[in-house]
Amino acid sequence: MLALRCALGTHTKHSVCHSASWRNRTGSQHRMSTSSHPVAAVCQVTVTPDKEANYSACQHLVERAKDSGASMVFLPEAFDYIGSSREETLSLSESLTGDTISRYTQLARKLGVWLSLGGFHERGHEWESDRRIYNSHIIVNDQGDIVSVYRKTHLFDVELPGRGVSLKESAFTIPGPCLVPPVQTPIGKVGLGICYDLRFPELSLALQRQGAEILTYPSAFTVATGAAHWEVLLRARAIETQCFVLAAAQVGRHHEKRSSYGHALAVDPWGSVLGDCGGEDTGTMALVEIDLDKLRDTRRNMPVQTHRRDTGFYHSLEEHT
């Protein structure tokens, strides 16, 4: 199994290649020499309220990822912006037909690469009357078509006294109405979640039952919750579903009120970490091969899903309460 940590942005300190099947080209840029497996790029950025600067940074990463052999690129939650207030967050939002998504669909078509746009501030269907938004995960294919939209179902309403965390996503965000089926992509069948969804194993198991081979949790985890829970939750979701887990992440300070933990991560179906972008550098990515033979071997050798009882069995305790 190949794993590569590749730093590509202007703030990078190093670029490390962990496999002989990759070779250093110029500086921090890498290309695939020989590989029989598709490659995913799991990105880490630091966005601000400046949408134009954010797009420029993400465009640069997507172009580098494509040049490095990636067939699908994963951007984090709030790749478009992170506002400094409720009012700014709402004012900067757009519809799926607005300029931001149009630019990304054009970029995907131009480069011939699939995109996971991990958390877009999408104006709700009743925007004119209620001024509320969805947190939407959008999959764009290499022809520039939107092939799936998942709207985040679990909203982050958390108060952690003493840890500096006070967020109420539901104050301006509408919970999504449902899960969406896994999407067939060049790297495998991808099941969609967003950030706080990571804490709900019911979601990942539902996606696995529908054929997901890869789970993705684009995130903007807080520093306090990230340090305590980020890696262990991602590895747990991989182990219990025997899926690859890809989690693009925000890192660093977005504005004076908000910082993110970073550590964009890729995990294999055994729970091993394949790539970790660390907690400091922005404009970085982890390039990983998605070896579905490894997934099939893991599931065959430890057939957890065939050992699972029917849903009624796990609800049987409720009859005794």
Q: Where are the domains positioned within the chain?
A: 3-320
Better-scored residue on pLDDT, 280 or 9: 280
Identified catalytic residue from 58, 195, 243, 277: 195
* 213 flagged as catalytic: no
pTM above 0.85, yes or no: yes
- In the chain the beta strands, taken as DSSP E runs, fall at 3-7, 22-24, 30-32, 39-45, 72-75, 114-123, 133-140, 146-151, 157-160, 165-168, 183-185, 188-192, 214-216, 244-247, 249-255, 258-261, 265-267, 273-276, 284-289
Q: What is the pLDDT of residue 55?
A: 98
Question: How far apart are alpha carbons 10 and 49 in whole angstroms?
Answer: 19
Lowest mean pLDDT among 70-74, 169-173, 258-262, 263-267: 169-173
* 152 flagged as catalytic: yes
Contacts of 306 by beta carbon, 8 Å cutoff, 6+ apart = none
Residue 164, token pair as written in the block: 């500096």
What residues form DSSP beta bridges with 250? 45
Q: What is the pLDDT of residue 256?
A: 87
Q: What is the pLDDT of residue 109?
A: 98
Average pLDDT over residues 225-241: 97
Average pLDDT over residues 130-158: 95
- What is the end-to-end Cα distance of the chain in Å, rounded? 47
Q: What is the pLDDT of residue 257?
A: 87
Contacts of 229 by beta carbon, 8 Å cutoff, 6+ apart = 199
Reported CATH class of domain 3-320: alpha beta
Average pLDDT, the chain: 88
Question: How far apart are alpha carbons 54 and 261 in whole angstroms?
Answer: 18
Lowest mean pLDDT among 104-113, 236-245, 308-317: 308-317
Residue 14, φ and ψ in degrees, nearest 5? -160, 165
pLDDT at 81 over 90: yes
Better-scored residue on pLDDT, 11 or 171: 171
Q: What is the pLDDT of residue 172?
A: 87
Average pLDDT over residues 10-38: 40
Q: How confident is the model at residue 29 (pLDDT cuts 50, 70, 90)?
A: very low
Q: How confident is the model at residue 34 (pLDDT cuts 50, 70, 90)?
A: low
Identified catalytic residue from 77, 122, 213, 289: 77
Identified catalytic residue from 152, 189, 277, 289: 152
Contacts of 161 by beta carbon, 8 Å cutoff, 6+ apart = none
